[in-house]
Structure 1
């Protein structure tokens, strides 16, 4: 694996932070100063500031994100983060983002390869949202949301939509643009009052209250890896 991925697996920083450590000359591999393109093989000795590191076990966590938490490892404003909320024994970080007041299914892992593919548009990972909106969207409005809505960054991809109740709709997307659901609903005249992601990549919130989390099963991890062509 790449050196920055190894450092992230060792729990010392994010990949971006690891790049900064490497540039600063603080990381050595087998006694030689590491570089951004350095690969780490089994048996290699990696040291940070002279201290030997070891990669942590892989962790896969599903969190029911509550409102008021930010989807980062640290927050300059001092707000509670999802990483602090989970408090896992290894450093698992969120895959993608949810807005601070959006609730629902959030995956955290230190498996960098899987996280990268899940977040990549190429794999069209499915995300299901339940939105409470202003007003009750007509069937024609739901069809418009499903067909695609013109936003400032282009037309949204086709989606699946359905009415759940008065002023409550479900949207199933394969994209991950910033504030996408909120912008789509606002564009058709029904601003979002409350938003929850009920499913992510086939993982639902069954049995998880807001703020609770659980480890994924081996079968769930294999299903995720198959979803993004890491396993057959």
Structure 2
């Protein structure tokens, strides 16, 4: 296993946040292989070196796991539901690690859902400050005009305020319905549905097909697969974590 910074090791193990872990190190309360450490740049190899805080052993946290799931319509983007409705947890059969969905797709939406235990990556993928694209194919009623598409792209007023500028283009459809490609850098609750309603073209189907460089591809609805190392690297680079430690 690759070496990681000591404060990250402590945070991943649930001892404290990285900032609080740094303070523990500065105070000399952390030891590696029996030797007190006060240097923040210290690296340890999880599982190969012993780490203690105030003399108590600290086991390494779980290894990072990255799962691509094709969420079908009618499944909740949550791990538990008090009413017993289908959840994405039920689709992750065979995944032993505790992972969580990155962002939400509402009950009637479909497509790409990343599930991971890498909190740092999840935060960056979801926060609009890091400008990671989320791409959707959206079927709407009617045929939006050029003005309608321009309004969507410039930003419209919905619940919670005006949406950020985005990219929108018509990629197919008929006289009664249109398929739009919508690329967002934010992800507010039911955002695309509310945006399209605001310009008079309600959504009838919504599928997320990409998140940054990660594409849904031909993965069938309800199926999942682990990400390839190259996909993880590309996703982390898109989120500004290239060369950074995982997690």
TM-score range, shorter chain: 0.7 to 0.9
**Aligned in 2, Cα 1:53/1:74: closer, same or farther, shift over 3 Å?**
farther
Contact residue 83 and residue 92 of structure 1 kept, 8 A:
no
Q: 2:143 aligns with which of 129, 136, 145?
A: 136
2:82: which partner in 1?
A: 76
Q: 1:6-45, aligned counterparts within 5 Å? A: 6-7=13-14, 43-44=50-51
Residue of structure 2 in register with 1:100 after alignment? 107
1:189 aligns with 2:200: yes
Q: Which runs of 5+ in 1 are unaligned?
A: 9-14, 16-28, 31-40, 47-51
TM-score by length of 2: 0.73
Distance 1:100 1:4, change over 3 A: farther
TM-align CA RMSD: 2.6
SS of the residue corresponding to residue 98 of structure 1 reads coil
CA 1:7/1:70 → structure 2, altered by over 3 Å: closer, same or farther? farther
Q: Distance in 1 between matches of 2:10 and 2:84?
A: 30
User: For 1:104 and 1:60, how far apart are their aligned partners in 2?
Assistant: 16
Measure the CA separation in 2 of the matches of 1:7 and 1:60.
20
In the alignment, the residues of structure 2 paired with residue 222 and residue 229 of structure 1 have an alpha-carbon distance, to the nearest angstrom, of 11
* CA gap 1:110/1:170 in 2 versus in 1, 3 angstroms: same
Residue 201 (structure 1) aligns with: 212
Provide the secondary structure at the position in 2 that maps to 1:72.
coil
Aligned residues: 200
Q: Is the 8 A contact 1:83 1:94 kept in 2?
A: no
Partner residue of 1:63 out of 61, 69, 74: 69
- Distance apart, 1:209 and its partner CA: 0.8
Q: CA deviation at 1:135?
A: 1.4
The range that moved more, 159-168 or 53-62, is: 53-62
What SS class does the counterpart of residue 162 from structure 1 fall into?
strand
CA contact (8 A) 2:124 2:239 kept: yes
Which structure has the larger Rg over C-alpha atoms?
2
TM-score under structure 1 normalisation?
0.77
Q: Check if 1:125 corresponds to 2:136.
A: no
| Cα shift at 1:83 | 2.2
How big is each residue's C-alpha offset from its partner over 1:180-229, in whole Å with a ceiling of 9 and x where there is no partner? 00000000001111111111122112120101111111111111111122
Report the Cα offset of residue 71 of structure 1: 1.0
